Structure 1
Amino acid sequence: MARRGLLVGTAATALTLGTVSFADAAPPNGGTDGTDGTDGTDRTRTVRGTLPAGAPDYVYLPVEVPRGVREIAVSYTYEKTPVPAGTQGNALDIGIFDERGTALGGRGFRGWSGGARSSFFIRADAATPGYIAGPVRAGTWNIALGPYTVAPGGLPYEVTITLRSGPAGTTPEPVYPPERAKGRGRAWYRGDCHLHSTHSDGGRTPAEIAAAARAAGLDFINSSEHNTHSAHGAWGGLWGGDLLVLTGEEITTRNGHVLALATDPGTFVDWRYRARDNRFGHYAKAVRRAGGLVVPAHPHATCIGCHWKFGFGEADAVEVWNGAYSPEDEIALAEWDNSLVAAARWSKPWVAAMGNSDAHREPDAVGLPQTVVLADELSREAIVAGIRAGHSYVAESSAVTLAFGAFGAFGAFGGRGLHAGIGERLRVDGDDTPVTVRLEVTGAPGCTAHFVTDQGTLYTAGLPESGAGTVEWRTTPAYAAYVRAEVRHPATVPGLPGALAALTNPVFLEG
């Protein structure tokens, strides 16, 4: 089948295999006895083949689905052949599109599990997590195979498709989280916007994530499964006045991952493109049309396909801290800091920093780190506005709190006092006008406060043994175009700074 049916598809990065027909397929083992709710006419086909080294990103296996099918079930296996040291072995992802087709951004998407599952099913009333329940309509469906990596000798695979006949059933109306929680009015709200459940490659259920979020002192979370929106309707009964649940997706391309944060419930964003395809801008706009933010995730992660290659021109924020602090985060932080210089000197738009846990399963800690956002209320609209404006800081836990701002004067003889908080601009009389920068910290014992500017770190002070203290520094707009704060643990590796306990977005200074 692989030799006869391997055809080049319409896109340069896709192949289409020969169509699987069930016209003459016999029931397995003589059929079923009807005790499973079917009418005894299940049909199964198994397709085997080998994808060559250098296979395209996506390979489609068309399946002709006749009328009267209640459920489609798919399982697959592939060989993890031994490879020489330093050579990537086989890894094969899987998903499915229905009779509406596989066009980029089309309506045919019905689910994706990547490499997290070896089987899935779809029917009107239910589906495997990661997949979208709904009618199994007649027409050509496409199983999507994603050869993530292929060994030099090729990737042998086997896909088994079973169609189960019977009454179609009804699809329940999804219940999505409300867009507003009780909250505390205008306040600082803590959130973790990069989390994975059993709807992609995570080990926690949505209920377990919600419980962990509350235990971590969070006020909001964002559903961000890899390449699927199936979890959007899985939070029923888990939100409350104390927890806002936002819906989104982690768009996992071959050239980096990006969070579609706080999109309209039910929004699916396609991921089947690379940086060279010049399509990312289109899908970034689609995220914003759905009310969400575009946030490149772990831009310097070293996993295959994780390194961000689309640039930051379409970003609304960037995840500079992902999970337990690492050298990858230090690089991401430095790259983001470099981008602030142009924004400072020419008053250009700038991209805010945020941090998320990317927690998948125990022992990954939900809320390590967390983004703390100043918002008018605990609502989707207010949280999105606060993140986009950079009115936020990042902390390793709810035990760490920061208050950071700059103070100066405008007008003759000192004039009136001015203040700018995190993410704001302080405009004073002239470039040489004194400005006082103040940081208040709690919950950071043994840590050191750092004031970072466009020249680098210009002031450092140790915090009291209790971890609570206030640090002040005087500067001018001529000396510092912006100031941001970092709170760091003691260094443990010679030549490298200590891990972050917290960091703020900048305050820009203008004369």
Structure 2
Amino acid sequence: MTVHRGRWTLEDRLERGLRELPFDVPPGTASITVELAFEGGVIDLGCHGPAGFRGWSGGARRAYTIGPGWATPGYLPGEIEPGTWHVWLGLHRIPPDGVPYEVTVTTSASPARAPDVPAPPPAPDRPPRRDLPAPAGLRWLAGDLHSHTVHSDGTLTVHELACLAASRGLDYLAVTDHNTVSHHPRLPDAAAHAGVTLLPGQEVTTDLGHANVFGDTGWVDFRRPSADWAAFAAANGGLMSINHPLSGDCAWRRPLPPEHRPPFVEIWHPSWWDRRWGAPLSWTDLWLPGGAVPLGGSDFHDPGQFKNLGEPTTWVLADADDGDGVLRALAAGRTSVSADRDAPVLLRLDDELIAVGADGTVLVRPDGRRAAVRGDRVRFPADGPGLHRLESHENEVIALCG
């Protein structure tokens, strides 16, 4: 057993926010259990082994177990290699009078026993798909690009989340747990069971901003500069988006030079609670003038929260229903965002815009020119790149497209 005790101070957090506490693992160890106790503040929890990253649970847990066949959600099961391991402590919120803490690490020659796993919920009936105009060989898929499970700070299992997505009529869902990829191996079975495409993802989470990385890229090292996240995603077949850039203490404040900025921005997030507020639009224009690709995500954690899965809905014009098809559509910028799956939507097909179910709204072009929408399916010529939107007569954003 290894025990670390002490008191973290505000100065400790300001000097270095992520602390690594070492412990030795002898040969023959079959499981590791780490327990964290502290009073006041918020301390995140994670683990790193001799072979690399082994898991992260942030502030959602105060204990975890890792073994060859099973690990606490958020952590990666596998061989327990002998050598020096590290408990990661993220000093997320340390008050001026400090936080006393104790970390206890227990190693065992016995494998960790996996808890009983409940049976997945029955596969749901899904609403009929919406009929939206699309070129031959392509189809608009309804999805949500931001969600969480028990593998970080969500309350649903992967299977439960997948069934909820299908019941709400979504075609795809990105599962983006914080700073971990432990949920990725669960996605294929849950997707097949529920009848929905589950896109592997992770929310790279720091004190100064969050970003989603979409695709089966492997773990993104959140300790690195943000430009490295984007480069890693691109090198491994993934895409990175900036999340909820104006969302309170989760707003984007990380340095990222213009030449390294990804074009994908989660402009529509539940924190945009009054869509007459124009700051998200202005931020997006300044982030990458003329080239930002608008995305939306519910940031879903729990059915009891005010956030509903698929609110907003991000539509992608895809050539296939699988995760690769979704990624290709995102990479090409073929996106549209609506308030939910059945809400008015603004679609772009080459040089044409189509407003569907939007009678009485106003089309706003990138240069500010406006036109009234009269009818259920109204076509307008597009003006080249840039963010187009539908607004109400009170300037509330109704739909977006790039």
User: Under a length normalisation based on structure 1, what TM-score does the superposition of the two structures give?
Assistant: 0.67
1:361-402 deviation per Cα after TM superposition (whole angstroms, max 9, x unaligned):
123211111211111121333322211222110011111353
* Paired residues for 1:287-366 under 5 Å: 287-303=233-249, 306-310=252-256, 313-323=260-270, 325-326=272-273, 330-338=278-286, 341=289, 343=290, 350-362=291-303, 363=305, 364-366=307-309
Match of 1:251 in 2: 204
Match of 1:191 in 2: 143
**Are residues 292 and 473 of structure 1, via their aligned partners in 2, closer, same or farther at CA, if it must alter by over 3 Å?**
closer
What is the aligned counterpart of 2:156 among 190, 204, 208?
A: 204
**Are residues 366 and 46 of structure 1, via their aligned partners in 2, closer, same or farther at CA, if it must alter by over 3 Å?**
same
Q: What is the rounded CA distance, in whole Å, between the counterparts of 1:168 and 1:155 in structure 2?
A: 31
Corresponding position: 1:92 with 2:43? yes
2:301 maps to a residue whose letter is: H
Higher relative contact order (CA 8 A, sep 6+): 2
Q: What is the rounded CA distance, in whole Å, between the counterparts of 2:288 and 2:109 in structure 1?
A: 59
CA contact (8 A) 2:31 2:111 kept: no
Corresponding position: 1:441 with 2:352? no
**Are residues 327 and 309 of structure 1, via their aligned partners in 2, closer, same or farther at CA, if it must alter by over 3 Å?**
farther
- SS in structure 1 at match of 2:232: helix
Q: What is the rounded CA distance, in whole Å, between the counterparts of 1:337 and 1:287 in structure 2?
A: 23
1:319 maps to a residue whose letter is: E
**Are residues 186 and 51 of structure 1, via their aligned partners in 2, closer, same or farther at CA, if it must alter by over 3 Å?**
same
Match of 1:283 in 2: 229
Q: What is the rounded CA distance, in whole Å, between the counterparts of 1:263 and 1:286 in structure 2?
A: 12
CA contact (8 A) 1:438 1:470 kept: no
Match of 2:399 in 1: 502
Unaligned runs of 5+ residues in structure 1 are: 1-43, 81-89, 101-107, 171-182, 274-278, 344-349, 406-420, 427-436, 492-496, 506-511
Q: What is the rounded CA distance, in whole Å, between the counterparts of 1:314 and 1:338 in structure 2?
A: 11
RMSD of Structure 2 on Structure 1 (CA): 2.8
- SS in structure 2 at match of 1:238: helix
Match of 1:34 in 2: none
Match of 1:367 in 2: 310
1:123-144 deviation per Cα after TM superposition (whole angstroms, max 9, x unaligned):
1110000000012221111001
* Paired residues for 1:151-170 under 5 Å: 151-166=95-110
Q: What is the rounded CA distance, in whole Å, between the counterparts of 1:374 and 1:99 in structure 2?
A: 43
1:436-488 deviation per Cα after TM superposition (whole angstroms, max 9, x unaligned):
x753322x58x62232222x2x224366xxxx6245668xx9xx665754234
- SS in structure 1 at match of 2:227: helix
2:26 maps to a residue whose letter is: P
* Paired residues for 1:461-500 under 5 Å: 461=372, 469-471=376-378, 484-489=387-392, 491=394, 497-498=395-396, 500=397
1:61 maps to a residue whose letter is: L
* Paired residues for 1:392-471 under 5 Å: 392-400=335-343, 402=345, 404=347, 421=349, 424=350, 426=351, 439-442=354-357, 448-454=361-367, 456=368, 458-461=369-372, 469-471=376-378
Q: What is the rounded CA distance, in whole Å, between the counterparts of 2:287 and 2:261 in structure 1?
A: 14
Q: What is the rounded CA distance, in whole Å, between the counterparts of 1:224 and 1:306 in structure 2?
A: 17
**Are residues 140 and 389 of structure 1, via their aligned partners in 2, closer, same or farther at CA, if it must alter by over 3 Å?**
same
Match of 1:175 in 2: none
1:291-340 deviation per Cα after TM superposition (whole angstroms, max 9, x unaligned):
11011111121125754542553314111111363259842222223456
Match of 1:50 in 2: 7
Q: What is the rounded CA distance, in whole Å, between the counterparts of 2:49 and 2:386 in structure 1?
A: 52
Unaligned runs of 5+ residues in structure 2 are: 115-128, 130-135
